[in-house]
Amino acid sequence: MRLLDLLRIDAPIIQAPMAGLATPAMAAAVSNAGALGSLGLGATDADGARKMIAAFRALSSRSLHVNVFCHRPARSDAALERAWVERLRLAFERTGSTPPPALTEIYKSFVDDDAMLAALLETKPTVVSFHFGAPPPDRIAALRAAGIVLLGTATSVPEGRKLVEAGVDAVIAQGYEAGGHRGVFDPDGPDDQLGTMALTRLLARSVGVPVIAAGGIMDGAGIAAALRLGASAAQLGTAFVGCPESQADAGYRIALLSDAAHHTVMTRAISGRPARCLANSFTALGAGVADGDVPAYPIAYDAGKALHAAAKAVGDFGFGAQWAGQGAPLARSLPAAELVAALRAEIGVT
Ligand SMILES: Cc1cc2nc3c(=O)[nH]c(=O)nc-3n(C[C@H](O)[C@H](O)[C@H](O)COP(=O)(O)O)c2cc1C
């Protein structure tokens, strides 16, 4: 079946599921405009997911895509975490605060979150996607049996093949340009850092299921290029960060629309996993830090969020998780429905 028919959308455009940033209002506006609106559930629990999905449904009866994180649950290493907190101490002290005494695993992985699975089976979003890997076969089977379309993020051909073997209906080809967390299954394994152009083409030629291109795509020209490479749709994240419906704070919005957007950095210092962020005080702090010195995701994120909150409280936005892809300077701050209409016009699907 054609991907657009499977997803029940009119245009080959997916607003990326962005945990902590995409809102039900954004996803509903996107879906009502004929593209696929999405919610990131990686930073919430089953109750939060139920509320977000209900809020979407109050605004739209069209397709909904939700995303869960499927990382290996974090292994705590108390000595490493203490050393990390000490490394951040000066930055905390500059804000007039002190670092948290201990760090915790602030979000559960979907691989061991039975309550989240139950919430998804009960609410039945049209589409569920997996980031950081695939869940165990019984979870995939349960979601499929509920009639839910499944997608998974791949950053390489072997990851794409694993997702297809696991049973996804389509693969998201996430290039190195992409904003936010890199979907790589094993953050400590080898990484060829393939760009969106090469990865989309390689996956389109090899996986045998539809491919969705993601990373650095900001406008109709980028979407058209992805389709020419063999993708069936494009997933755009950074393009939607500046929408009024997003949860981006003032500092993030100002940075995105300034010259700062020309500089993005892949860093694991903020969350414990590689993610592309606007260059800021946190990415500068992370420069030169060995990967092995950063606690596991999402334990490091506990410290990262605390530092951002402490800095923000004294008016410093430089420690935010200001995720953005390499196309950031092309961001527009239109309402989500207007952005989808503009993208549709740019690719000639009106
Ligand atoms: C602010 C932000 C948050 C993101 N959060 C998620 C997420 O929760 N789940 C996910 O699968 N991808 C997430 N991503 C990655 C997107 O799915 C997508 O791969 C990326 O946005 C594509 O690159 P672009 O930002 O250049 O468009 C996020 C991206 C951004 C910019």
Instruction: Give the helix, strand, coil percentages of the chain, each rounded to 5.
Output: 45, 15, 45
pLDDT > 90? residue 349: no
Summarize the confidence of residues 109-120 as an average pLDDT: 98
pLDDT digits (tens, 9 = 90+) for 104-113: 999 999 999 9
* Atom 21, ligand 1: residue with shortest CA distance: 237
In this structure, what DSSP letter does residue 74 have? P
Please count the CA atoms within 13 angstroms of the CA of 10 that sit on its side-chain side.
15
Query: Distance from the CA of 240 to the center of ligand 1, in angstroms?
Result: 10
The pLDDT of residue 167: 98
> pTM above 0.75?
yes
| Nearest CA among 138, 168, 174, 142 for reference residue 156 | 174
pLDDT > 90? residue 279: yes
The pLDDT of residue 41: 98
pLDDT > 80? residue 60: yes
Summarize the confidence of residues 83-103 as an average pLDDT: 96
* Atom 28, ligand 1: residue with shortest CA distance: 180
pLDDT digits (tens, 9 = 90+) for 183-230: 999 999 999 999 999 999 999 999 999 999 999 999 999 999 999 999
Q: Which of 163, 323, 343 to mutate to test the pocket of ligand 1 (most atoms within 8 A of CB)?
A: 323
Summarize the confidence of residues 265-275 as an average pLDDT: 98
DSSP H or E run through 212:
strand 211-214
Residue 344: both structure tokens together: 């549709």
pLDDT digits (tens, 9 = 90+) for 65-77: 999 999 999 999 9
pLDDT > 80? residue 180: yes
The pLDDT of residue 350: 77
pLDDT digits (tens, 9 = 90+) for 130-170: 999 999 999 999 999 999 999 999 999 999 999 999 999 99
Residues with CB under 6 Å of ligand 1 are: 16-19, 21, 40, 42, 67, 131, 153, 174, 177-181, 214-217, 235-239, 241, 323-325, 327
The pLDDT of residue 37: 98
Q: What is the mean pLDDT of the chain?
A: 97
Query: Distance from the CA of 57 to the center of ligand 1, in angstroms?
Result: 22
pLDDT > 90? residue 1: no
Residue 192: both structure tokens together: 């060829």
Summarize the confidence of residues 4-14 as an average pLDDT: 98
Q: Which of 14, 15, 18, 177 to mutate to test the pocket of ligand 1 (most atoms within 8 A of CB)?
A: 18
Q: Whole-angstrom Cα distance, residue 232 to residue 335?
A: 25
Residue 101: both structure tokens together: 């005494």
Query: Distance from the CA of 291 to the center of ligand 1, in angstroms?
Result: 21
Please report, rounded to a whole number, the percentage of residues in the chain having pLDDT higher than 90.
Answer: 99
Summarize the confidence of residues 240-251 as an average pLDDT: 98
